[in-house]
Amino acid sequence: SNKNRKRKREPEADIKSGGPEIMKIKLPNEMKKRLIDDWENINRNKRIMQLPVQPSVEEILDKYFEFVEKDSSKDVKRIELCRNIIEALKLYFHHSLGTLLLYKLERPLYEKEVKGGNTPTKIYGAQHLLRLFVKMPTLVQNTNLTKAEASAIAKEISLICGHLSKNATHIFKGQYKKQSKDNLELAKLRRET
């Protein structure tokens, strides 16, 4: 019955994107909830994540890889696959942060930090990594990934999400901060991309 189904509150919680998909990402409910909280902090409360975030996307993914390496020490193929996917996720993050993963309010800080020479994976954290996971089906849409490769990435993302859930207290430590009038004005002047 439909009665028990919760209404999706924000567009961010809806993982499906249009078009035929070669990749499906299923986020655990706890991670969906974090994305909704993230959306509300920024768009309702006008607070954005302070940079740099500890641990960073890079630290989170490297720690996860260390965990897989220990866990699968005999399985060379598994370790190699994981290494490749982790490196690919870092690249995707690096290239899509400015175009796909930010809200309007976050742009002035992004301009300052990233255009100022900081590497995105070293200053952004778990919330932005989750946003990447949600966008992955769209990002791989026009690549030459095979269905098998896409599903391997989706499976790894699902394992990473499990890891994030288990270690949430150490991973989701970023602080949101109310924005100054100047920043709010700057953000208003920007068109939403």
- The model's pLDDT over 161-175, given as tens digits with 9 standing for 90+, comes to 999 999 999 999 889
Query: Is pLDDT of 20 > 60?
Result: no
pLDDT in tens, 84-132: 999 999 999 999 999 999 999 999 889 889 888 899 999 999 999 999 9
Q: Is the pLDDT of residue 2 over 60?
A: no
* Joined tokens for residue 138: 């769209």
Check residues 180 and 138 and name the one with the higher pLDDT. 138
Helix (H) / strand (E) containing 49: strand 47-49
Residue 63 pLDDT level (bands cut at 50, 70, 90): very high
Above 90 in pLDDT, residue 64?
A: yes
Q: Pairing between strand 176-178 and 47-49?
A: antiparallel
**Alpha-carbon distance values, 162 to 41, 59, 158 (Å):** 24, 16, 6
pLDDT exceeds 70 at position 159: yes
Whether the model clears a pTM of 0.85, i.e. scores above it, the answer is: no
